[in-house]
Amino acid sequence: MAKKISDSINRVDGSDKISGRAKYISDVYFKNQYYARTLRSEIAKGRILSIDFPEIPENYFVIDKDDIPGLNQMRTVISDNPIFADNEVNYIGQPILLVVGPDREIIAEIIDQIEVTYQKEKPILTLEEAEQKASLFSDFDYSKGDVENAFNNASQIITDQYETGFQEHIYIEPQGITAVHRDNKMFVFGSMQCPFYIQGALEDVLCWPEDRLRVIHTTTGGAFGGKEEFPSMIACQAAVAALKTGHPVKIIYDRDEDIIASTKRHPSLVKYKAALDKNNKVSALEINVKFNAGAYSGISPVVLERGIFSAANVYNFPNVKVNGKNYQTNSVPCGAFRGFGAPQTIFSMEMFMHNLARKLGQDPLKFKKKHLIKRGDTTSTGGTMHGQVKMPEIIEKITKMSNYEEKFNNLSENRGIGISLFIHGCGFTGDGENNIKGKITLEKKGEQAIVKVSSTDMGQGAETSLRKIVSYTLEIPMEKVIYKKVDTGKVPDSGPTVASRTVMIVGGLLRSAALEMKEKWKQKQSMEISKIYAHPDYLKWDNDTYQGDAYPIYSFGANVVEVEVDPITLELDIQNLYAVYDVGTVIDEKGLRGQMEGGIVQGLGWATTEVMETNQGQLMQSSMTDYKIPTIKDVPEIECDFVTNPYEFGPFGAKCAGELPFNGPAPALAAAVSHALSVPIKKIPLRPENLLKEIKNEN
């Protein structure tokens, strides 16, 4: 039996044969494997009165809530999302049961013949309706300074609001998991970001100790946050099915099911009330952030936290009051997505500052520069901006690259140029990194250094960057650094592959271990060094009041976009995009440029073509025919550069990078469109009908 388990693992990681082909979970066959397909809710809200089944053939099984040995809920920040519906459904697409068996066509026939009788209930379908009915998941506040006094002494008060929509991840490889029950253990293989998240979820659902659970990461074709918490749901379903059937059970979504079922970016509505002093500088700001979390809370509280902690963006307002709310609606649950709540509030802040400058008759960039935060300033959460802030250098570099000032003053009619300034907090929020206590192990075996971490490579280049850190530190060739396959039975929990933490946090620990190992490298043929992360002593955080250092350090950036707007159709032709970033020290420049360009295109898609709406709880864009991601023809010329600003505690000075590029494109493009049409932009995606409405309002 042990040999068969080993064989399965070898087939998954490709170690049985050297080739240039990656094996994804859908490519791997497990002996005697069964397939599973999900029966999903067809209504947005209601109770399940009955389920009528056809005759179930031999060797086919129905798996539902009654087959779960432990808790019928997926462990995450708020564990409220059931593995299978328990007599009620709260969104279209909610899983009710699995049909499992050896033939996928027969499974589909069985699914088609199952009839569910519901008692429909009135759903909550919009953010506005959820607010009216106080359908609330979470409510957070923090403040800085004396907001009330600043408003009492204001020369004028300005209010405004901004809106963003859903976004689908569209990773290249859809969700996929296989569960194998052998030797009184459960092995889970799949496309994922966070193997230890899945292990924890399995502990709750199976009521098994962790030593009976192994989660093995397989080659993953993209994730962007969509494979952070959601694979725990599929893994629990597959594991319960494997336990009942006695067969390996594989769940692979097709694209349409993936879009219908998987989590989305939170739609947002952000409202501002600003006090201006006699010099027309912002003296106080009240910000109200509202997120549509969907049917279940899940990971939404921490998405909202990053959203509100990023709400002031790169600016130092002396008096700030921020409130954030997550609302429950009967739509698909929202979850992790690149930027993790920050893109929504940064878009809104950048457009608020842009439109406020226009209203005051000022140059938007000059107006923004008057409010920039600098080293030593107090952040909006009452912490300290510990690191050097190179926004002036970034702005100088990007305005020269793009010839921004000349174009801003001289572009012809229907052409526009816009600039965005943005920030991203590195690593987990608040005391998150200290609570995780991420652990790494570096092993020397002969002339090789073996990296043991739980950081997964999902196409972002984590493996290359971490191996490079060890290689450079030990001064050994890259091929001598082995990146151990992420398997919860073989590597320590160094924390999830999220929050732009991999290079800075995990890489920093590896750098520290490698420096220690280097001193003994020639004396020992074998050794093992482990490190556990702890924040620098100067960082302070109070999670009850949201006061202190929300992040240990920040990365910064600026984007400039040039656009031409068709005067008849109001369609956009994005012509050029310029980008400059401060990510500390660049570790792998070629890979990082790919990351930045990918983030830029993804951000432009969110701002333009990626329209996702619901009708009575039903996603209207539920396939790639209807949900339009940017094509190569939609991608402008991109010029990218960096400024160096080393972080003392990052490996070779590196800070966070992966999420940063998503924060800039949408507000830069919106500012460019505003410049071209001489109208304020307050909503994305930038659809022609919305632009027409703004033009009519302005006139």
* pLDDT, tens only, 122-140: 999 999 999 999 999 999 9
Q: Is 392 helix (H, G, I), strand (E, B) or coil?
A: helix
Torsion sign, CA atoms 252, 256, 260, 262: positive
Buried b vs exposed e over 441-460: b needs ≥16 C-beta within 10 Å?
Answer: bbbbeeeebbbbbbbbbbbb
In the structure encoding, which two tokens stand for residue 279, read together?
């010099």
DSSP string of 551-570? Answer: SS-EEEEEEEEEEEE-TTT-
Interatomic CA distance for residues 454 and 347, integer angstroms: 32
Q: In percent, how much of the chain has pLDDT > 70?
A: 97
Beta-strand ranges (E) seen in 541-683 are 541-542, 547-548, 554-565, 572-582, 614-615, 618-619, 637-643
Mean pLDDT of 217-239: 98
Mean pLDDT of 454-479: 97
| Domain residue spans of the chain | 2-121+175-252, 268-429+545-698, 432-532
Interatomic CA distance for residues 683 and 693, integer angstroms: 11
Beta-strand ranges (E) seen in 305-459 are 320-328, 415-425, 439-445, 448-452
Interatomic CA distance for residues 170 and 276, integer angstroms: 42
Buried b vs exposed e over 583-613: b needs ≥16 C-beta within 10 Å?
Answer: bbbbbbeebbbebbbbbbbbbbbbbbbbbbe
Is residue 28 a contact partner of residue 10, using CB atoms and an 8 Å limit? no
The residue whose two tokens read 């939404």 is 300
Mean pLDDT of 311-337: 98
pLDDT at 19: 65
pLDDT digits (tens, 9 = 90+) for 241-293: 999 999 999 999 999 999 999 999 999 999 999 999 999 999 999 999 999 99
Tell me how crowded residue 659 is: count the other CB atoms within 10 A of its CB: 26
pLDDT at 21: 80
Interatomic CA distance for residues 625 and 611, integer angstroms: 12
pLDDT at 18: 58
pLDDT digits (tens, 9 = 90+) for 495-533: 999 999 999 999 999 999 999 999 999 999 999 999 999
Beta-strand ranges (E) seen in 390-503 are 415-425, 439-445, 448-452, 481-483
Is residue 368 a contact partner of residue 357, using CB atoms and an 8 Å limit? yes
**What CATH superfamily classification does 2-121+175-252 receive?**
Aldehyde oxidase/xanthine dehydrogenase, a/b hammerhead (3.90.1170.50)
The residue whose two tokens read 């092993």 is 443
Q: Decide if pLDDT at 408 tops 80.
A: yes
Beta-strand ranges (E) seen in 429-566 are 439-445, 448-452, 481-483, 526-532, 541-542, 547-548, 554-565
In the structure encoding, which two tokens stand for residue 243, read together?
């336990």
* Candidates 3.10.20.30, 3.90.330.10, 3.30.365.10, 3.40.1710.10; CATH matching 268-429+545-698: 3.30.365.10
Mean pLDDT of 383-410: 98
Q: In percent, how much of the chain has pLDDT > 90?
A: 96
Strand order in the sheet with 268-276: 136-144, 320-328, 282-294, 268-276, 156-164
Kindly report the pTM of this predicted structure.
0.96
pLDDT at 17: 53
- Of 355, 353, 369, 352, the closest CA to residue 405 belongs to 369
Mean pLDDT of 340-346: 98
Partner residues linked to 136 by β-bridges: 327
Instruction: Evaluate whether the domain defined by 432-532 bears CATH number 1.10.287.610.
Output: no
Interatomic CA distance for residues 497 and 141, integer angstroms: 28
Distances, alpha carbon 167 to alpha carbons 224, 266, 323, 368, 605, in Å: 11, 8, 23, 28, 9
Interatomic CA distance for residues 673 and 530, integer angstroms: 52
Residues in the chain: 699
Interatomic CA distance for residues 355 and 234, integer angstroms: 44
Cα end-to-end distance, the chain, whole Å: 76
Same fold, 268-429+545-698 and 432-532: yes
- Of 289, 275, 272, the closest CA to residue 351 belongs to 272
Tell me how crowded residue 210 is: count the other CB atoms within 10 A of its CB: 14
The single-letter DSSP state of residue 652 is G
Mean pLDDT of 174-202: 98
Q: Is 263 helix (H, G, I), strand (E, B) or coil?
A: coil
Q: What residues contact 453, with CB distance under 8 A and at least 6 apart?
A: 440, 441, 466, 484, 486, 491, 492, 494, 506, 510
The residue whose two tokens read 């230890």 is 196
Report the C-alpha dihedral over residues 363, 366, 369, 371, rounded to 10 degrees: -60
Q: Is 286 helix (H, G, I), strand (E, B) or coil?
A: strand
In the structure encoding, which two tokens stand for residue 699, read together?
């006139």
Please give the mean pLDDT across all residues of the chain: 96
pLDDT at 5: 45
pLDDT at 64: 98
- Of 264, 215, 389, the closest CA to residue 314 belongs to 389
- Of 650, 631, 662, 220, the closest CA to residue 460 belongs to 220
pLDDT digits (tens, 9 = 90+) for 24-67: 999 999 999 999 999 999 999 999 999 999 999 999 999 999 99
Q: Decide if pLDDT at 4 tops 90.
A: no
DSSP string of 65-76? Answer: GGG-SS-SS--S
pLDDT at 698: 80
